[in-house]
Structure 1
Amino acid sequence: MVCKIAPTETPSRTGEREQEIADYETALDAAGYGRFSRSVLCACALAFFTTGVENCVMSYVLPAARCELQLTTYQAGLINMAFMSGGVASAFFWGIVGDVFGRKNILSLTLLVDSTILLAQSTVSDYRLLLAARTLNGFLIGAPSTLVFTYLSDLVGAKRRQFYLDVTGMSFVAAWLILPAIAWLVIPFKLPGYTTLLPIYSWRLYLALGSIPGFLSGIWLMFLPESPRLMSDTNRSDRALKIIAYINKCNNGSKSEFKIKKLIQENIFMSKTINGDQSRTKALFIGVLKDLRMLVSKSYAVKSSLLLFVFFANMAAGFGLNFWIPELLLRTQGKPCTANISLPLPENAMLFNASNVAWKDIAKTYNNFSTPKYNASVYMHEEICNETINDSVFTSGLIVGACCVLGNAACALVSARGGAGVRRAAALCAGACALASGCLAAAVCACAAPAPLAVAAAAALNAASLNGNVLLIRLLLHALPPKLGGLGVCWGAWWGRAGGVASNLAVGVLLDYSCPAPFVSVAALLALSIGAIMMIKLEEAKVIDEVKTDSDIVEKNVGLDRYISTHM
C-alpha cells in the first residue's frame, strides 16, 4: 500500500486561503463603505420617513377637510382608529412575508401601493372611502416599519451599522417636523374662482405631496439588490457572494478586487432546506410558537405583562392623543375659548368644560369674531363653514416636531448606556407624558391656558411619547433574554397599536362632550406605567459557553429579532 503525502503549505498560502473563506459579517465588512452604503442609507431613511408621513399626515388633513367632507369629531376619530387598526393587523405579518418573498420586493411593492392609495385619497369625496383607504394604509405601511431596519442591517457592515440605524430612525420623527412646515405653506393656499369637476382644496394638494416620498423610496429600492443575508440563509450562497462583491465594487471602485470567494453558512434554515423536512416559513412559525410559550410561562409572565402594559399606555399617548394635537390647538384659537372669557357657562357645561358651551347662543352674541365656529357633533357646520386654520397651529406643530427630533437624538445617546439608564429615562419620559396630558386636560381643554403653555404641553406630550417608545423597546431587550427579544417587541407593537386604537376612539367620542376625559385617562395609565417600568427586572449579563449544540443554534436564530423595527 502506497501512502501519498500531501505537500505542506507555506504560511503565506494558508493565509491566502483563510482570506478567501469568511462568514457573512466578515465579508460584509470587507466590502467597505462608500457610494453603495450611502445609497442604501438614503433609500431606507426615505422609506422610514414615509412611515412617519403616514402617521402624521391626517393630523393636518382632518381639520382642513372637515367642511368639505362634513366630518363629525366621532368620524375623525374613526379615521385615525382605522389607520391604527391596520397596523395592529399587520404587527406579525410582514416580517415573515418579507422572509419568504424577499425583503426588497416587499418593501418596494408596499411603498408604491401605499403611496398610490394615499394619492387616490386626494380625490375622495366620501368619508367612508377615506375610512377604508386609511385602513389599507395602516396595514401596508407596517411593512416598511418592520422590514426597513432588517434590510439596512443586511447591507451595511457592523462597524457603521448602529450609526446608520440611528440616522434612519431619526427620519421617522423628522416627518413630524417637516410636515407642519409643508402644511403651513399648502393648506392656507386658496384658488378662488376656479370651477372644475373635482373641487380644488388645499388639503387635497397636501395629501398628493405626502405621497411623493413613498413613490421615490419605492422606486429607489427597485434598483438595489436583495438582502445577501437572506440569500445566504436560504442556501443561495453563490448569489449572496455576488451581491457582496457588487457592494465592494460600488464602494471601492470597479477595479477593486474582492478576495473572499466563499461564505460560511451560519443560519439553521440552510439545513432545513437541504433535508427537506420542513419549509423555512414553517420552521420560523414553529420557533415563534415555542418562544411564545416561554414568554407566557411562569418565569416571564409577570415581566411580560408589565412590558405589554407600558407599551399600551405609552402608545395610547404617542399614537392616540398626538394625532389630535393640531385639532386641540385649533380649538384653543376658536370662538369657544374667546367667548369663554366673558360669557358664563350653562349649568350642564360646567359639568364638563368649555367645549359644551351652547354654541348657537355664543354665535349670535359673538358673531363679530372671524374665528371658526364649532358644533358639539360636527366640526364646523352651521350657516357658514369656515375652514381657515390659524397660523399658530402650524408654528406650534413645528415646535413640537423640533422637540421630537432633539429628543430622538438624546434617546440614541441614553440607549447606549445600559439597561439601568434606559429604565430611568423611560420612566422620566412616561412621567413627562403624563404631566403633559394632565396639563392639556386641566388647562387647554378648559380654555384656561395661554398659547405658549398649550404649545409646551403639546411638545412635551409628542416628544416624550414618541421617544419613550424607543426607550421602551430598548428596555424590553434588556429585560428579556435575546431569544425572546424579537417576539417581545412584536407583542409590544401589537399592544401599543391597540392602545392607539382605543385612545383615538375615546377622543373621537368624548372630545365634544368632555374634552379632559381621554387626556385624564391616558395620564392615569401613564402614571401607573411609571411604577410598572420600575418593577421590571433586567436580565443579568451571562457568559455564553463557546461550545453550542445544534439545538442551541436553532433556538437562537429562529426568533423574530431580525424581523422587527426599533421604531413603531
Structure 2
Amino acid sequence: MADYETALDSAGYGRFSRSALGACACAFFQTGVQNCVMSYVLPAAKCELQLTTYQAGLINMAFMSGGVASAFFWGIVGDVFGRRNVLSTTLLLDAVITLAQSIVPDYRLLLAARSINGFLIGGPSTLVFTYLSDLVGVKKRQFYLNITGMSFVAAWLILPACAWLVIPFKAVNHTTIIPIYSWRLFLALGSLPGFVGGLWILNLPESPRLLSDTNRSDTALKLLAKIHRANCGKKEEFRIKKLIQDNILVTKTLNGEQNRTKALFLGVMKDLKTFVSKSYAVKSSLILFAFFANMAAGFGLNLWIPELLLRMQGSSCKRAGLPQNARLQNTTNLLRESKLFDVSGAELVPRYNDSNFDHDSLSFGCGETMDEDVFTSGLIVGACCVLGNAACAFLVARGGARGVRRAAAACALACACACACLAACACSCASSNKIAVAAAAALNAASLNGNVLLIRLLLHALPAKLSGLGVCWGAWWGRAGGVASNLAVGVLLDFSCPAPFISVAALLAISIGAIMIIKLEEQETGETEEDEQDNGKSTGLDRYISTHM
C-alpha cells in the first residue's frame, strides 16, 4: 500500500517518462508559437490583406481576449472530462484552425480565427504542467517541468529563424484561387507542432492521479503498472498493490461529473469570497495590478516589436536631411499630406487609416520582402528570452520571499526602462536600431522573468488555500493587460507611437511600489530550501503552475 506520490516514484523513470516529456514540451511549444507567430505574419500580410495598424491591433487583441475568456475554464473542464482528452482535443483543433488561416482571404475571418485560437490554446497552457506532473515522479519532476517551460520561450527563438527562411521566399507568379504568399506557408508551418503534440498525447494514458482522486484507484493502479513496465521493462514487478487515496473528490460514484462540477464551482466561489474579503482585499489588488502591468508589457507590447523594427528599416525612417523635431514625429503622418493614393491607385477613404498602404511607411511592398535585419533582431530577442528564462529558473530555486520580491521589482524596473527606451529610439526613427534591439531583448526577458517571479511572490503572499485561485486571477488580469496594451498600440501607433509605451512604463513604475509594499505571509518568509525539499511529496500547487499564463 502506498500513496500516489510513492507509487508514481516506484513506477520509475525511463522510456515512458521521456515520451511524456516530449509530448508536453511539444504541446507547450505550440502555445509559444501561437503567442509569437502573428508578430511576423501581420507585417508580411499587411499589404495583401490591406490591414491598417488598428486592424492588426484588433487581431492581436482577439487572441488575448480568447485567453481571457478561458482563464477559469479549462482547469475545471480538464478535471471533469480528463486532462489527456482536453489536451489532445484543444491542440488538434487549434492546429486545424491555424492551418485554415493560411488560406483566409479577408481579415475578418482571420480576426475570428485568432479569437478561437486564443480560447483553445488556453487548454494546453493551463493543463500541460498538471498532466506532466501526474505522470512523472517527484525525483525528476522539477527538472522535467523546467525543460517543458523552456519549450515556450524556445518558440520565440525558433520562429524568427523560420520566418527568415520562409517569408523572403518568392512563390511562382501565376494565377490561383488563393494568392500564394510566403506568410501563408509560414502560418501553415506554425500548425505542425499542434498536430504532432495532439497526436502524441493521444498515445499517452489519462492522468492516474485524476483517476485516483475520482474513486477509480483500480484503473489508476493498472496505469501505474503499465508505466512501470514501459520505464523499467517487463522483468521487474510493480510492487504497489493498493493506492491510499488522499484527495477523494467524488467518493461513492463513478458517474459523478455533475456533482464534481458543482463541487468545483462552489469551491471556487468560496475561495473567491475569501480572496476579496477585508483580510486579503488590499494584498490581492496589489498582486493583480502587478500582473496587469507586467503582462501589458510582456504579452502586449512584445507582439509589436517586429512591427517597430520593420518601421525603423523603412525608407521613411531613413530619409536624410530631416530635422530632429521632424523625426520625432511619427513618420507615417508626414506621408499623409503628400500621398493621395494607395498602392493600387484607388482613392483613399477620408479619415481611414491609410498610412499602412504607403510604401515609405513600410520597408517592403506587396512584391518585395522584409528587411533581413528584422529577422536577425528577432533572433537576438529570442536568444535573450531563452537566457533570461534559464536565469529565472535558477533565481527562483534559491532565496526566500524577500529575495523573490526584490527580483520581481527589479524585473518591473527593467521592463519600464525598456519601454521608455523603445519610445525614445524606435518611435523617433533613431539612426541606429541597435539600442532598440537591446531594449526589445530586455523587455522580452524581463517581462517573462517578472511573470514567473510574480507567481512565486503570490505563493509567498497568500495562504495555500488561495494560491490556486490567485494564479487564475493573476492570469485573467494579466491577459486583460495584454488585451488593453495591444488595442492601445493598434490605435495610437500611427498617431502617437510613444504614447502606449510611455503609458505601460508608467504602469510598471507604479507596480514596483505595489510589489514592495505587499505584505508577505510570516509562515512563508521563514521557509528554507531544505523545508521545501522535505515537502517534495506534497500534492500542493507548485505542480499546477507554469511559467506562462
TM-score normalised by structure 1 residue count:
0.88
The amino acid that maps onto 2:271 is D
- In the superposition, relative to structure 1, how do residues 82 and 387 fare at CA in structure 2: closer, same or farther (>3 Å)? farther
The reply on whether 1:250 has 2:230 as its aligned counterpart is yes
The reply on whether 1:474 has 2:456 as its aligned counterpart is yes
The reply on whether 1:267 has 2:231 as its aligned counterpart is no
Contact persistence 2:291–2:454 (CA under 8 A) = yes
**In structure 1, how many angstroms separate the alpha carbons of the residues matched to 2:135 and 2:390?**
24
Equivalence for 1:123: 103
- In the superposition, relative to structure 1, how do residues 85 and 189 fare at CA in structure 2: closer, same or farther (>3 Å)? same
Aligned with 1:358 (options 326, 332, 335): 335
1:326-365 pair list within 5 angstroms: 326-339=306-319, 341-344=320-323, 352-359=329-336, 361=338
Equivalence for 1:49: 29
How far off is 1:463 after superposition?
A: 1.1
| C-alpha distance after superposition, 1:533-566 (max 9, x if no partner) | 111122122799xxxxxxxxxxx99x98765544
- In the superposition, relative to structure 1, how do residues 268 and 424 fare at CA in structure 2: closer, same or farther (>3 Å)? same
1:201-280 pair list within 5 angstroms: 201-271=181-251, 273=253, 279-280=259-260
**In structure 1, how many angstroms separate the alpha carbons of the residues matched to 2:428 and 2:481?**
25
Equivalence for 1:162: 142
**In structure 2, how many angstroms separate the alpha carbons of the residues matched to 1:171 and 1:276?**
36
How far off is 1:362 after superposition?
A: 8.5
Equivalence for 1:530: 512
Structure 2 unaligned spans of 5+ = 342-351, 527-537
The reply on whether 1:410 has 2:383 as its aligned counterpart is no
The reply on whether 1:28 has 2:8 as its aligned counterpart is yes
**In structure 2, how many angstroms separate the alpha carbons of the residues matched to 1:66 and 1:274?**
53
**In structure 2, how many angstroms separate the alpha carbons of the residues matched to 1:55 and 1:387?**
26
Contact persistence 2:160–2:376 (CA under 8 A) = yes
1:91-130 pair list within 5 angstroms: 91-130=71-110
**Partner SS for 1:338:** coil
- In the superposition, relative to structure 1, how do residues 531 and 377 fare at CA in structure 2: closer, same or farther (>3 Å)? farther
Contact persistence 2:208–2:223 (CA under 8 A) = yes
**Partner SS for 1:225:** coil
**In structure 2, how many angstroms separate the alpha carbons of the residues matched to 1:506 and 1:207?**
25
- Give the RMSD, CA atoms, in angstroms: 2.4
Equivalence for 1:139: 119
Contact persistence 2:214–2:254 (CA under 8 A) = no
**In structure 1, how many angstroms separate the alpha carbons of the residues matched to 2:524 and 2:455?**
21
How far off is 1:149 after superposition?
A: 0.4
Equivalence for 1:380: 357
The amino acid that maps onto 1:358 is L
Aligned with 1:317 (options 276, 281, 297): 297
Equivalence for 2:403: 421
Equivalence for 1:298: 278
Aligned with 2:492 (options 510, 513, 526): 510
The reply on whether 1:181 has 2:161 as its aligned counterpart is yes
The amino acid that maps onto 1:177 is L
Q: Indicate the percent of aligned positions where both proteins have the same amino acid.
A: 75
Equivalence for 2:346: none
Pick the structure with greater CA Rg: 1
The amino acid that maps onto 1:468 is G
Equivalence for 1:549: none
Contact persistence 1:356–1:376 (CA under 8 A) = no
How far off is 1:279 after superposition?
A: 1.2
Contact persistence 2:328–2:428 (CA under 8 A) = no
Contact persistence 1:154–1:229 (CA under 8 A) = yes
| C-alpha distance after superposition, 1:209-234 (max 9, x if no partner) | 00000000000000000000000011
**In structure 2, how many angstroms separate the alpha carbons of the residues matched to 1:567 and 1:269?**
27
How far off is 1:273 after superposition?
A: 4.3
The reply on whether 1:440 has 2:440 as its aligned counterpart is no
The amino acid that maps onto 2:175 is T
**In structure 2, how many angstroms separate the alpha carbons of the residues matched to 1:428 and 1:512?**
31
The amino acid that maps onto 2:214 is T
How far off is 1:426 after superposition?
A: 0.9
The amino acid that maps onto 2:5 is E
Contact persistence 1:345–1:354 (CA under 8 A) = no
The amino acid that maps onto 1:202 is S
| C-alpha distance after superposition, 1:285-316 (max 9, x if no partner) | 11111111111111111110000000000000
Equivalence for 2:48: 68
| C-alpha distance after superposition, 1:430-487 (max 9, x if no partner) | 1111000000111220112512111101111111112211111111111111111110
Equivalence for 2:288: 308
- In the superposition, relative to structure 1, how do residues 456 and 382 fare at CA in structure 2: closer, same or farther (>3 Å)? closer
Contact persistence 2:416–2:508 (CA under 8 A) = yes
Structure 1 unaligned spans of 5+ = 1-20, 365-374, 545-555
Contact persistence 2:212–2:220 (CA under 8 A) = yes
1:480-495 pair list within 5 angstroms: 480-495=462-477
* Count, aligned residues: 523
Equivalence for 2:59: 79
**In structure 2, how many angstroms separate the alpha carbons of the residues matched to 1:122 and 1:277?**
38
**In structure 2, how many angstroms separate the alpha carbons of the residues matched to 1:502 and 1:318?**
12
**Partner SS for 1:141:** helix
Equivalence for 1:6: none
Equivalence for 2:535: none
TM-score normalised by structure 2 residue count:
0.91
**In structure 2, how many angstroms separate the alpha carbons of the residues matched to 1:385 and 1:177?**
26
- In the superposition, relative to structure 1, how do residues 53 and 351 fare at CA in structure 2: closer, same or farther (>3 Å)? closer
How far off is 1:355 after superposition?
A: 4.1
The amino acid that maps onto 2:466 is L
